[in-house]
Amino acid sequence: MLWKGGGVNTGLKIKKAGTVDVEFRAPPSKSYTHRALICAALAEGESFIGNPLDSEDIDVTVNALIRLGISCRKIKDGIAVEGCGGVFPDVGEVIIDCRNSGTTLRLLSTLALLSPGRVTLTGTKRMKERPIGDLADAIKQAGGDVIFIEKDGFPPLRISGSLSGGRVIVDASKSSQYVSSLMLTGPYSDHPMNIMPKGSIASKPYLRITADVMRSFGIVPADVSNGSITIPQDVYSPSDYAVEGDYSSASYLFAVAAVCGGRVRVNNLNPHSLQGDRAFLGMLKDMGCDIDLNSGEDYVVAECRKGLKGIEVDMSGSPDVIQTLAAVALFADSPTTIHGVGNLKYKESDRIQAVIDMAEACGGRAEAGDGSVTIYPAEFRECLIDPADDHRTAMSAAVIGLGAGGVEIKNPECVSKSYPEFFTELRRAGLLHE
């Protein structure tokens, strides 16, 4: 919920930054860290995950694996994981609190079939509002038993049975993580697993990330760009795996250049990354920014010296940066229409409504259409924004504040879900002043 004007002094006040010339280091990728931890847990032997993201969501996944009997040790610059080779120890019935980490809950739902005891996956109030029924149907096809404890199709859910494999049809229109969940655990099925996604796949680039991590641990799934995905029966090999930087988190840093004017360099980014959110750079370019990918190096530069123009873009493959683009769009000289936003309502908050509320709160306007949202240029005013515990709303609000000033963010600590150092990094760069 967002309030217009004034408000109680309970949050972080963001002042206008002016023209910038700053440098940041992108945090490690949340998506890659989750998947690397799961592959390491399933591998036969000890793996080392270097440069992992240190955040609430990753802590949830690490603690979940520990509950399932996997040894995970935080050591200098990484996490050592002693894999079980797909044979989990018998730790009895396990209840795992996934809090508000949808990635943890979805990716572990199929893995739970490898545990000898029943596994119950639960989470926060918001998590219990996020659908999981389509993945549960797929798990049943693969040989598992799923019981919904409170509401049909939603967490908490209790999983037991075995992973027989075979042909599995899954509706991935709400989340590609349903497919990724099956892919990651599929090598340990009793029979080769053939995953048949039904309909359009939400956030499809994430499947390429899943396949990329699997390859690094020795298993190569069939080409995920085609209709079906065949997962070979095999055992992951241990790996010394280095996590690349996160384009989702870096989007807020690049957005600062767009709304403030000036130059932002972000280090620790793979210019050839498979991350769908890398497309955000092309969107900024279309709006009038200059982008230097510095191919062969590990940094990207965004420079904006002129006014921004509105664009029309399909962001179905990069949903986690929709709010970032919406924040930038408020500073453009014409409307911006974003297509492919339908799945935003299943995120940590209803992000379609969050975009509308955020725009209106700070003096702009946004309208939802059929699978789209249009953001109009703002006449900025002071506002207090409550991100409703959604890290991406909080960071997008900070972008608006740095560009326009007069934004107060309630509960800014919620960024710890994916980018705990976000506001610290802004302070180090001299962009935040108490």
Binding residues for phosphoenolpyruvate: 30, 102, 130, 177, 351, 392, 417
- Distance (Å, whole) CA 396 – CA 373: 16
- Distance (Å, whole) CA 57 – CA 423: 18
What percentage of the chain's residues is helix, strand, coil (to nearest 5)?
35, 25, 40
Strands, E, within 174-261: which ranges? 191-198, 229-231, 240-242
Known binding residues are 30-31, 35, 102, 130, 175-177, 203, 320, 343, 347, 351, 392, 417
DSSP at 28: B
Three-state DSSP class for residue 248: helix
Residue 264 makes CB contacts below 8 A (sequence gap 6+) with 20, 22, 23, 24, 253, 254, 256, 257, 301, 302, 303
Q: Which residue has the tokens 């990354």?
A: 273
For residue 319, count other CB atoms closer than 10 A to its CB.
Answer: 27
Residue of 164, 171, 172 whose CA lies nearest to 145:
164
Three-state DSSP class for residue 402: helix
For residues 180, 181, 186 and 192, what is the CA-based torsion angle, rounded to 10 degrees?
Answer: -70
Three-state DSSP class for residue 163: coil
54 is catalytic: no
Known binding residues for 3-phosphoshikimate are 30-31, 35, 175-177, 203, 320, 343, 347
- Distance (Å, whole) CA 60 – CA 227: 32
171, 320, 386, 390: the catalytic one is: 320
Catalytic residues: 320
